[in-house]
Chains A and B, each alone.
Chain A
Amino acid sequence: MERVLGGNLIGKVDDADIYLEYRINEELVLEEGTVKKASRHVSQGAGVRAQSGTRTGYAHTDEISIKNLEEAARQARAIADRSATSGTLALATRGRPHDLYTLAEPPIVTDLARKLELLRRIDAETRATDPRIKQVIASITSEEVIMLIATASGWTVGDIRPLTRLNVTAIAEEGGKREIGSYGGGGRVTFDFFLEEGRWRRFAAEAARQAALKLGAVDAPAGAMTVVFGPGWPGILLHEAIGHGLEGDFNRKGTSAFAGRMGQKVASELVTVVDDGTIPNRRGSLNVDDEGTPTGRTVLIENGILTGYMQDRLNARLMGMKPTGNGRRESYAYPPMPRMTNTFMLAGEDDPGEILRSVKHGLYAVTFGGGQVDITNGKFVFSASEAYLVEDGRVTAPVKGATLIGNGPEALTRVSRVGRDLKLDEGVGTCGKDGQSVPVGVGLPTIRIDGITVGGTAV
């Protein structure tokens, strides 16, 4: 490490680090009652980064040798040498890494036979739920990432990150109609997590129930209306509507719809949103981020007021703020950037049933697919995959999937009710930014938003 980063960096760069990573990934997929796909992938590599001012030089190699690392460091440094620097080396925020996911048996080492047996049981269970289920696809993915980071300021820290996910997809058929339902979960947990508390049975039943339910779905409405979001995964609303817009890089560059709005009201006073990377065993949690900064709990919005951005070291330094432990990267092949961990809204005081009863005409959205946001104009979308009409306070017909579209800085100002039933998602989220994917979590209590556009076909 010393030799690669070398003393000759000092005075030439503002920050530098080496990131080493070893990753094993295993995927088991069951289809048509048999395990069809079994694969195992190994990748390892190193990324060397040098920064001066706003410039980043990054080089990576998948052959970890001193010769390659020195070459990578030379390439990364070349850019720094071209630019004037502040002359002082950034001090990495030191601090104790957390211990959030030490496991008795990491999921990657669990016996294959146990995983295959569970997949077979899931297949049988899902089909037994409903005779209309004609196809089941179940998968277990397990991963272990071992990372080590050394910064030019002398801070070296490592982390071992287990991760696993169980997913069940069911296809229901009836009278020539076909529909799909999907459910799953996981986290930085052992394989036994799926066996505990009836979890795998619940995942299987949920996938089957969703598929069968949608066979009878009516066209979704089109236009702006009151929408009640169920607890848990619908928290993807926060991820898209405000999360990305509060990442440090977009705000430093002034390209976010939230830029320059710190201290201003951006949501109803019922709304408090945090990003918390320190929750034990969660999919979005990390002991340290991918720059070696221990993760934390950042209050993004407090009682409706914008209070915090999520930062990596580069953007924190340039904005005169503190890194918040949100510097993340997909792998050694990419430099880190500010990313979310687990993003959720704190619970309010309302009874969830009462929130639904308060709606005269609207939509109750319980499960969502993916979402996307245009950071600059703040417009965000996400797709409801399980939703119902609400008529006179009663939940009635299920509707077909529809995209919901809104404006980030405005949508949360219309939150009129917040339930007391905060739930974190089951552990399925993956966030994409600039071509880099990282695991994340979201959470939400039942909330009511007065006026969001539902993209159905029933005008």
Chain B
Amino acid sequence: MNTDLLVSVLKRASQRGATAADGYLVEESHFSASVRMGEIETINHSREQRLSLRVFAGRASAAASTSDLSRESLERVVDEATALAKVTAEDPHAGLPEPSALIERVPDLDLADTGGDLSPEEKIEIARRAEAAALESDPRVTNSEGAEYFDRQARYAYATSHGFVHGYATTSFGISVAPIASRNGEMQRDYWYSTARKRAALEDPAAVGRRAAARALRRLGARKMKSVEVPVVFDPETAASLVRSIAGAASGPSLYRRASFLLDRLGTKIASPTVTIVDDALIPSALGSRPFDGEGLATGRTVLVRDGVLESYLLDTYSARKLGLQSTHHAGRDGSGVSVTTTNLMLLPGKTSPEELIGSVKNGFYVTELIGFGVNGVTGDYSRGAVGQWIENGQLAYPVEEVTVAGNLLAMLSAIDGVGNDLVLRDRTVAPTVRIGRMVVAGT
């Protein structure tokens, strides 16, 4: 990887009057193949690179990025960023982390597949097998939005004007299938996927297809419900979205803007004692793992919530300084600058099986899909469209659609009265099945 380029860009920034600077370089190549009804639909190849730069003029800063890494373009980007930094306001909290805090030895987290590549035909075949398994699994699976295979190789390098330069490489692979089941004019689509750092860790394409088909089939015959307040069980996928909302409210920028329902709650009880949420960046070969954050700080394991008590926020250097705290090494880097990102974020499992959690509900709702954006991070007010199964006497009785589930996240977290033992680290943010004592399900 061309880290010399990064170093020379930082050098130019210093020459132009920047007092400090850091830069991030990403090079990636991507292949995807989609198949629909057995036929190839789209093949997509790409190769991309992007250099993003942050410069400081004293305590003022600016960011810039470009995908054009020609010399003239880079020079222009540096000059523009340096000029921008001179017009933005001084901010006493702006600046790079202390050089002494930067990572010294980058751990090998085994994030890149070193096996050989497959031919495009073999990759297309993976998508084809996944879709075929969905279509063949039941005569009611009559149509499909298709199946996709993708792989991505990426290399990241980070450098600062202090002389820090380190990098690492990752790969990722994925299969997804979106079949459509139909009966008596009703159509229901669902999907399933598998994604992993190593190709060999992908689930069997046929198993992914069959699971997708089963998910679509169980939605056939969906009913609307009368509005009611009942226990609600979130499946692992939808429970993970609750964890994401909590992480968003615990992230530094939401806090210093006073736009978070977790403001001033550090060290206090925010959830039932069954809730422990951990962000762990160092799990070998995991999708969210990374050896250092977007500011060159060593990553680790952060306990966000322990037994219901909010133990830590998620902070980068800037938001930590604003809040009078230490960075938790969660700086993320994207085209538009530095943000806060999680790594492998998990709600830790309990001891109850999902069957027992459902079995404990006499009359309630098992949620399998949430749609819409009805989460207010400032107040915690929550109202989202939901799809799932109605629970009657501890059994999944029939599918339900066109309803919403609503409450307030803080009240919901406190009302969690069951956490499943079914945690699987199959994505960046994961949770086991979760039971919430009472929520309003709105319908007709």
> In chain A between 75 and 115, which residues have their CB closer than 8 angstroms to a CB of chain B?
75-76, 78-79, 82-83, 112-113
- CB proximity to B under 8 Å, residues A276-305: none
A255→B143 contact, CB < 8 A: yes
Chain B, residue nearest A256 (CB)? B187
Q: Which of A180, A369, A381, A406 has the most CB of B within 10 A?
A: A381
- How many Å lie between the Cα of A173 and that of B80 in the bound state? 38
Bound-complex Cα distance A291 to B3 (A): 37
- What is the minimal beta-carbon distance from B326 to any residue of chain A, in angstroms? 21
Which residues of chain B from 373 to 409 have a CB within 8 Å of any chain A CB?
A: 373-374, 376, 378-379, 381, 383-385, 387, 401-408
- Among B48, B76, B229, max chain A CB count under 10 A is at B48
Q: Which residues of A contact B41 (CB under 8 A)?
A: 54-56
Judge whether B443 and A42 touch: CB under 8 Å: no
- Given A39-B84, A178-B378: A34 touches B91 (CB 8 Å cut-off): yes
B229 / chain A contacts, CB cutoff of 8 Å: 459
User: Which of A187-195, A266-274, A397-405 lines the interface with chain B?
Assistant: A397-405
Tell whether, in the assembled complex, residue A27 and residue B440 are in contact, meaning their CB atoms are under 8 Å apart.
no
Q: Tell me if A431 is interfacial: C-beta within 8 Å of chain B.
A: no
- Answer whether residue A243 sits at the interface, using C-beta atoms and an 8 A cutoff: no
Which one of B63-71, B163-171, B428-436 contacts A?
A: B63-71
Q: Determine the chain A residues whose CB is within 8 A of the CB of B42 once the complex forms.
A: 55-58, 335
Q: Scoring A residues 165 to 187 as 1 if CB is less than 8 Å from chain B, else 0, what string do you get?
A: 00000010100011110000000
In Å, the complex CA distance between A55 and B33 comes to 11
Taking a contact as CB atoms under 8 Å apart, the answer to whether A456 and B84 are in contact is no
| B73 in contact (CB, < 8 A) | yes
Tell me which of A354-362, A370-378, A417-425, A438-446 binds B. A370-378
Q: Is the CB of A62 within 8 A of B67?
A: yes
User: What is the CA–CA distance of A371 and B371 in the complex, to the nearest angstrom?
Assistant: 8
CA–CA, A255 to B141, complex, Å? Answer: 12
Q: How far is the CA of A335 from the CA of B34 in the complex (A)?
A: 13
Residue B257 CB within 8 A of the other chain: yes
Binary per-residue interface labels of chain B (207-249) against chain A in the complex, 1 for a CB within 8 Å, 0 otherwise: 0000000000001001010111100000000000000000000
By the criterion CB–CB under 8 Å, are A43 and B67 in contact?
Answer: yes
Chain B residues with Cβ below 8 Å from A27 are 336
Q: A379 vs B90: C-alpha distance in the bound complex, in angstroms?
A: 49
Chain A residues with CB under 8 Å of B50's CB are 43, 62
- Which residues of chain B have C-beta atoms less than 8 A from A60's C-beta? 44-46, 48
Q: Is B330 an interface residue (CB 8 A)?
A: no
Q: How far apart sit A82 and B39, CA to CA, in the bound complex (Å)?
A: 11
Contact A253 B402 (CB under 8 A): no
**Chain A positions within 8 Å of B91 at CB level:** 34, 36
Q: List residues of chain B with CB within 8 A of the CB of A135.
A: 257-259
Cα–Cα distance between A30 and B101 once the two chains are bound (Å): 29
- Residues of chain B within 8 A (CB-CB) of A453 are 224, 402-404, 442-444
A363 at the interface (CB under 8 A from B): no
Judge if B352 is at the interface, Cβ distance under 8 Å. no
Contact of A369 among B373, B387, B406 (CB under 8 A): B373
Check if A116 is an interface residue, CB within 8 A of chain B.
Answer: yes
CB pair B383–A403 under 8 Å, yes or no, is: yes
Interface pair A36/B89, CB less than 8 Å apart: yes
A31 within 8 A of partner (CB): yes
Interface residues in A370-412 by Cβ distance below 8 A to B read: 370-377, 379, 381-383, 400-403, 405-407
Residues of chain B with a CB closer than 8 A to A376's CB? 145, 180, 187-189
Measured CB to CB, the nearest residue on chain B to A405 is B385
With both beta carbons as reference points, the residue of chain B lying nearest to A120 in the complex is identified as B89
Contact A224 B443 (CB under 8 A): yes
Q: Tell me if B372 counts as interface (CB < 8 A to partner A).
A: yes
- Shortest B104–chain A CB gap in Å is 30
For residue A67, CB closer than 8 A to chain B, the reply is no
Instruction: Assess the B383–A383 pair: CB atoms within 8 A.
Output: yes
Choice from A78, A335, A405 contacting B403 with Cβ under 8 Å: A405
Given contacts A222-B440, A333-B48, A381-B384, contact A31 B43 (CB under 8 A): no
Residues of A within 8 A of B226 (CB): 223
In the complex, the answer to whether A31 meets B84 with C-beta atoms within 8 Å is no
In this assembly, does A416 line the interface, its C-beta being within 8 Å of a C-beta of chain B?
A: no
B304 CB to closest chain A CB (Å) equals 21
Residues of A within 8 A of B65 (CB): 39, 41-42
A223 touches B227 (CB 8 A): yes
A116 contact set on B, CB distance < 8 A: 87
A-B contacts, 17 listed (Cβ < 8 Å): A37-B337, A39-B64, A55-B42, A59-B46, A62-B49, A82-B40, A222-B440, A370-B373, A371-B373, A372-B371, A383-B383, A400-B379, A405-B403, A453-B444, A456-B442, A457-B383, A457-B408
CB within 8 Å of B: which residues of A? 27, 31, 34-45, 53-63, 72, 75-76, 78-79, 82-83, 112-113, 116, 134-135, 137, 171, 173, 177-180, 220, 222-224, 253-255, 257, 333, 335, 369-377, 379, 381-383, 400-403, 405-407, 453-459
5 more A-B contacts (CB under 8 A) besides A40-B84, A403-B374?
A: A37-B88, A55-B40, A379-B402, A401-B381, A459-B442
